[in-house]
Structure 1
Amino acid sequence: MQKEHLPTTAEQVIAKYHSTLRREQTLDPNAEVFIFKTFARTVEGWLPQDKGAPILEIGCGEGTFQRYLQSKGYRNLYAFDLSSENVHICHQRGLRHVCRHDALQVFDYPGPEQGWEMIVCIDLLEHLPKSELCRFITAVRHRLRPSGSVIFQTPNMASVVGLYHRYNDLTHEVGFTEKSVCDLLIASGFPPESIEVRPAWSAATWQGRLREMYLTALHRLIYLADGQATPKIPTRNLLVRATPLTEETSGEDRL
């Protein structure tokens, strides 16, 4: 008798990720205005100047960042998500280019022959198995143009609220500090000098700015005992950008 396949926890949650995690607020038009303001603070300065540059978003969720890119005039957009529910929501929001695909199969995803100018992974790394991270990031590196870059956002385990965000999602597999995320990218072939890690300051209101000041002060107070090992970034998320730098760098160690 053939055994019935029972889905894993991750498979079961991801299939209906939006409704299981009760993420209705992400579709609120009023909330979207503030979310766009947070993107303006966090990643806008890293976006390509060329509005026709090919940009791929891996793990696009309900498509809010895709809508932000459209609002900024970017027109050569590609995106995918593992959750069928999220893909359906994206289509309902007019993002017909979004499809279902597995991030761990990024090397199979069709794209421009010369590579992507930018690949964006917002709140994705923490969902991937640790054993697959180097393989995934190496594949991402190979899919970039020599002049291109990748942007990651991931929860900051050195933040005073880091553990809450690490364990507040059943599909989170791993967490990072500003050091360990650099170690991961270096192990995956990105040159150390190409990696930039910075805080994800994202408040869109004056009340939010006050909370950011409080968080900074609290972070410094808590880490007083740590001396030189004190992590510099207090925000709940880390922002990371890396580039292959040269064609020779991006072409080595082909999969």
Structure 2
Amino acid sequence: MKVDYFEHYKRVNDLSEHGRKSHWGPFERTLGRFLPENRNANIVDIGCGAGVLLEWLLSKGYTHVRGYDCDAGQVSFCQSLKLPVEQADDSAEQLGQCRNVDLVVIKDVLEHMGKEDVARLLVAARQALAPGGRIYISVPNAAASYATYWLYNDPTHMRSYSANVLSLELAIAGFRVKHVGDDDTTAFSSPFGIIRLMLRSFFRFWRRLEAIGEYGAEGLRLPLGLNLVVVAECDVA
């Protein structure tokens, strides 16, 4: 029986206006500092899903944004919101037709793809970017406490990533890594949020000590959040 991915997506995500806008704050804290200053910059969101990121970019005044997704349900939902989204069954092929892109966002996508398809997509992104352009990638973090649960939380996930592996794949595609981190965004917006932050800080402290014990100085820098974030630029050397 064929699974309708968008029906599954709607069950586990709040796609109301309020639900979509609840992601804007986390986007600002994670992706915001990597956005181009020019509001006319050319930004492409690969695997844009329900278009939440595109809505946020448009709300910030970016005028040249577009998204691609392979799921017809997601694309239809985006188009119902008048978002600039097209269906693309082959993301690498679609991205390969783009040029002079300032920022390529590939968020929560690579974990759904095989290694060869990932390599094709990264090369296509490298070719599509303008000089000085950036790629922003978010994937499940293999070093997170709940990495195994997070990996198998979606039936279409194929793998999680370490920073070293993703950095190597980017280098092979012609990128130079500029930032490695995670997307921890727990805010102080409610008493429960404060409790979550306190608990996470407590247990993360012990995880950090364990990482230092296992990896030495590298353990100080090891991202421990659920999602690994890597930002890279075209390697012109």
Q: Same fold (TM over 0.5)?
A: yes
Greater displacement, 143-152 / 126-135: 126-135
CA distance in 2, matches of 1:21, 1:222: 35
* Gapped regions of structure 1 (runs ≥ 5): 1-6, 250-255
Looking at structure 2, the residues matched to 74 and 36 of structure 1 have their Cα atoms a distance apart, in angstroms, of: 14
Render the CA deviation track for 1:176-214: whole Å, top value 9, x for unaligned: 0111111111122213xx432112121233435334423
**C-alpha contact (below 8 Å) 2:39/2:61 kept by paired residues:** yes
Residue 21 of structure 1 deviates from its aligned partner by 4.0
Give 1:75-114 correspondences, 5 Å limit.
75-95=63-83, 97-101=84-88, 102-109=90-97, 111-112=98-99
1:233 aligns with 2:218: no
1:60 aligns with 2:45: no
Deviation at 1:92, TM superposition (A): 1.7
Identical residues among aligned pairs (%): 26
Other structure's SS at 1:74 match: coil
Change (3 A) 1:28 1:223: same
Alignment correspondent of 2:175: 190
Q: Does 1:242 align with 2:227?
A: no
Matches within 5 A, 1:194-213: 194-205=177-188, 206-207=193-194, 208-213=196-201
Q: 2:163 aligns with which of 171, 174, 178?
A: 178
- Structure 1 window deviating more from structure 2 (160-169 vs 215-224): it is 215-224
Q: What do you get for the CA RMSD once the two structures are aligned?
A: 2.1
Listed as ranges, the gaps of 5+ residues in structure 2 are none
2:169 counterpart letter in structure 1: L
What amino acid sits opposite 1:77 in the alignment? Answer: V
How many aligned positions are there? 229
Is 1:216 aligned with 2:204?
A: yes
- Between 166-175 and 197-206, the greater mean CA deviation after superposition: 197-206
For 1:244, give the aligned amino acid.
C
Structure 2 counterparts to residues 40-59 of structure 1, below 5 A: 40-59=28-47
- How many Å separate the matches in 2 of 1:160 and 1:144? 34
Match of 1:253 in 2: none
Structure 1 residues 174 and 106, CA, compared in 2 at 3 Å: closer, same or farther?
farther
2:2 equivalent to 1:17: no
Q: Distance in 2 between matches of 1:129 and 1:51?
A: 34
Q: Secondary structure at the match of 2:29?
A: helix
Give the letter for the 1:199 counterpart.
D
Determine if contact 1:106/1:140 at 8 Å carries over to the other structure: no
Does the CA-based 8 Å contact 2:49-2:74 persist in structure 1? yes
Partner of 1:164: 149
Q: Is the 8 A contact 2:96 2:127 kept in 1?
A: no
Normalised by the length of structure 2, the TM-score is 0.88
Q: Secondary structure of 1:26's match? A: coil
Match of 2:16 in 1: 28
Q: Normalization by structure 1: what TM-score? A: 0.82
Choose from 121, 125, 131 the match for 1:140: 125
Q: Give the aligned partner of residue 130 of structure 1.
A: 115
More strand by share: 2
Q: For 1:235, what is the secondary structure of its paired residue?
A: coil
Distance 1:203 1:224 in 2: 24
Aligned mates of 1:33, 1:212 — CA distance in 2? 24
Q: Secondary structure at the match of 2:103?
A: strand
